[in-house]
Chains A and B, each alone.
Chain A
Amino acid sequence: MTRLWPGRALAYLWSGWGAIASLLLFMAAWEWASGFHGELVLPDPRSALATLGGLLGSGAAGPELAITARRALLGFVFAVAVGSTLGLAAGLSMTASMMSRPIITVLLGTPPVAWLVLALLWFGSGDGTPVFTVFVACVPVIFAGAMQGARTLDGQLRDMASVFRLPPAMRLFDLYLPHVVSYLFPAWISALGISWKVVVMAELLSTSDGVGAALAVSRSHLDTAATLAWIVAVVGLLLAVEYLLLEPVKRMVERWRLTQ
């Protein structure tokens, strides 16, 4: 079944209606819960959205979101570069993967907030602290995915490639990459989610700008509506990036599986 890409894109976007329906039901539940408590404890979704609209309209939200996005992406990109390279390298050797497995477990088990305290001591209250915290929280996830991808390469396919003397470029793009990417990509997506959550936490405790800092301010003002507005903004951005950018790319790189 071949379809032209505008048709496929439309079909993909249209399939989002199911998710929108669930989210709207969640909004209804939120609205219902807000009826039991005062505006101070849990404002209804409409006032949170109105506050967010006000923040965006006044130009207050844009710069903070940009700062947070920059820190999250910076940490994420470092983690992707380091985690993927080291993970693939470790996956190529049985000894290296055996050695690194316990270290990954330790890294995964360390709560990001512990790293944050160390980072505060090392980097102070600038960009360094949130970027490092994001990096260190993302690296083990990506490392594990990359190592798994490299370890599970089909040995027989590799042997066949050598028998047929495939050129190195072809081996890389047609044999190794499609397989490895199908492990790497899900790891990257989970890491992106982690980066986005960790950066807000790191900012809340360490910086004077960014969404996390704005959350700290709204908390000290007991402004629950603004708090929820920031949360909606952060979650909304994450959902948008995941479903409008990463998921389509993931489907594209994984199409070879479907055609098998």
Chain B
Amino acid sequence: MLKRISAPITTQMAALMAALFLCGFRPFFLFAAASAVLAIGAWGGFLLGAWLLPEMAGGPLVWHAHEMVLGFALAAVVGFVVTAVPEFTGSAGVASARVKWMAVAWLAARVGALAGGVAGTALAAVATLALLMVLVTAVAPALWHGAERRHVSFLWGLLGLLLSTAGFYVEALGGGDPMRWLHAAIGILMVLIVIALSRISMRIVNGALELAGETGREYLARPPRRNLAVFAITLYTALEFFLPLHPVAGWVALAAAAALFNLLNDWFVGRVLFGRWVFMLQGVYWLMAAGYALIGWAILGGGLPPGAGRHLLTIGALGLAVFVVMNIAGRVHAGLEPDPRPWVPIAAAMLVVAAVARVFIYLPGGGTALFGAVLLWVLPFGLVVIRFWPLYSRPRADGRGGCEGIGD
């Protein structure tokens, strides 16, 4: 009797797991969106005094940053890397078994963070570092042996992330203040975003130009400008780590902002700039530039603390980049065109307003803006979970397998 009921349930579970692990981005984009909602919900509740957060070296602020950087952002990075690297390098996809191991590790790290204390942090440390090592070993050969090593910068980014994660846990378990390692991780994430968007934007912007019939124009994400931006961001990240709040770091942050504005020179391609995907991708650079400008200004004696600019980087640039990539790659590789419905630009606008609201909390009487920011962050990613769950929990409608795109 029991067997007869449980049999269909296990087959259902097996079908669900098969659909969910069809391609690496499917579980990890869901993880990212869900953790964006839950971790910020937890943070908002804590700020309202509804509950306490699990214990972690450095206090609740470190817990919040840990969950956003090594929970939310790391899930998005894993989802993107396991899908994009095989596509960019033309190599075989990451084996489903590895993706499953990484998913288990990511969930274990969340359990560790939720448990808190030394044991919980140790669990999160082992799980997160294992995840990153599996990820690096999975994509390193393709990145290293790819044609002209054109995409090897992703490998340096991932190794940087691995290093800053290890440093974070060593310091957290050793009783020090581990926050500076997470700040370094944010800088590395910004570099990864600049590198990833240069690849994505070439397709999206040129696709938009083609669609608009503007055959005379071509968009090129030129390496010299990108390299200058990557150099400035990396230099700032290193200075922030070794000489926090030093005026030299302030000037370099301003230089990073200018270098990011300089990147937008590639984007003078006419009216297609205002098309939804092109506009949103471009918005990531604007927010990143504004974030570094605000940080530089803060260090050199401006009014707002550096946290204001940093949240333009995280809520704004990172949040928007993750959201847009989910909506492009997360659909194309599931066999669907990017979503044409109005919720996408509305949700993206919410993220931008959330980032700006987070800056406003430092202004007199701006305290309530924090809860606006929480709400405007939770809603878009909540919508992602609702929209993407039906898509990822079932086999692809076009009958294709794995990570294949629409045109593949």
Binding site for B on A (CB under 8 A): 1, 7, 10-11, 14-15, 17-18, 20-22, 24-25, 27-28, 31-32, 35, 44-46
Contact = CB atoms under 8 A, between A and B. Distances in A.
B265 A28 contact: no
A32 B247 CA distance: 8
Contact of B251 (A1, A11, A15, A28): A28
A14 B256 CA distance: 15
B251 A45 contact: yes
Contacts of A1: 216-217
Interface in B154-181: none
Contacts of A22: 255
B232 A21 contact: yes
Interface in B260-285: 261-262, 264-265, 268
B359 interface: no
Given A21-B228, A46-B301, A14 B265 contact: yes
Contacts, number: 61
Given A17-B259, A18-B225, A20-B262, 6 more contacts: A14-B264, A17-B262, A24-B251, A25-B252, A27-B255, A28-B248
B304 interface: no
A147 B268 CA distance: 40
19 contacts: A11-B265, A14-B261, A15-B262, A17-B258, A17-B261, A17-B265, A18-B228, A21-B255, A21-B258, A21-B262, A25-B235, A25-B251, A25-B252, A28-B248, A28-B252, A31-B247, A35-B248, A44-B247, A46-B247
Given A14-B268, A46-B301, A25 B261 contact: no
Given A25-B232, A25-B255, A31-B247, A46 B300 contact: yes
Contacts of B268: 7, 10-11, 14
B247 A24 contact: no
Contacts of B254: 24, 27
Interface in B319-360: none
Contacts of A21: 228, 232, 255-256, 258-259, 262
4 tightest A-B contacts by CB? Answer: A28-B251, A24-B255, A17-B262, A21-B258
A25 B259 CA distance: 10
Nearest to B300: A46
A173 B252 CA distance: 48
A183 B258 CA distance: 33
Nearest to B231: A25
A34 to B, nearest CB: 9
A61 to B, nearest CB: 22
Contact of A18 (B217, B247, B259, B301): B259
Interface residues of B, number: 22
Contacts of A17: 258-259, 261-262, 264-265
Nearest to A7: B268
Nearest to B216: A1
Nearest to B267: A14
A22 B231 CA distance: 11
Contacts of A25: 232, 235, 251-252, 255
A31 B258 CA distance: 18
Nearest to A1: B216
Nearest to B289: A17
A32 B246 CA distance: 9
Contacts of B255: 21-22, 24-25, 27-28
A7 B265 CA distance: 12
B145 to A, nearest CB: 33
A45 B250 CA distance: 12
Nearest to A14: B265
Q: Which of B217, B235, B252, B301 has the most CB of A within 10 A?
A: B252
Interface string B222-261: 0001001000100100000000000110011011101101
Contacts of B216: 1
Interface string B197-237: 00000000000000000001100000001001000100100
Interface string B128-144: 00000000000000000
Contact of B248 (A7, A20, A31): A31
Given A21-B228, A21-B232, A27 B264 contact: no
B285 to A, nearest CB: 11
Contacts of B300: 46
A10 B273 CA distance: 15
Contacts of B217: 1
Contacts of B261: 14, 17
Contact of A15 (B228, B252, B265, B301): B265
A32 B252 CA distance: 11
Given A1-B217, A32-B248, A24 B265 contact: no
A45 to B, nearest CB: 7
Contacts of B228: 18, 21
A127 B66 CA distance: 67
Contacts of B264: 14, 17
Contacts of A44: 247
Contacts of B235: 25
Contacts of B259: 17-18, 21
Q: For A10, A24, A31, which residue has the most chain B Cβ atoms within 10 angstroms? A: A24
Contacts of A45: 251
Contacts of A28: 248, 251-252, 255
A18 B224 CA distance: 10
A24 B258 contact: yes
Contacts of A27: 251, 254-255
Contacts of A7: 268
Nearest to B251: A28
A21 B225 CA distance: 11
A28 B255 CA distance: 9
Nearest to B263: A17
B264 to A, nearest CB: 7
Contacts of B232: 21, 25
